[in-house]
Amino acid sequence: MLNLLSNLIDIITTLITFIFNTIMSFINLISNIPTYTTFLISSINVLPVVLIPFATVSISLYVVLLIMGRN
C-alpha cells in the first residue's frame, strides 16, 4: 500500500513538472519569435530573388530544429 502511494506521488510530481516545463517552453517560444523573425528577414534581405524560397525554407527548418533542441 505504501509503495502504491509512493508511485502515485511520483506520477503526480512528474505530471506537474511536465505541465510546468510545457508552459515555460511555450512562453520561451513566444518571447523569441521577434528574434527569429528578425534573423529571417535580415538574412533574406540581401539574397537574389531566385534564392529567397530556398533560404526561407532552410532558415525556417533551422529555427524549428533550434526550438526542438536538435541543432
* Residue pLDDT, tens place only, 14-59: 999 999 999 998 998 899 888 888 877 887 788 888 888 888 888 7
Angle value at C-alpha 21, between 15 and 25, nearest 5 degrees: 145
Please return the burial class of 44, using the count of CB atoms within 10 Å of its CB with bins 0-12, 13-18 and 19+: middle
What does the pLDDT read at residue 29?
A: 84
- The total domain count for the chain is 1
CA-to-CA distance for 26 and 36, rounded, in angstroms? 15
C-alpha triplet 21, 24, 26: angle, nearest 5°: 110
Domain region containing 7: 2-68
pLDDT at 71: 58
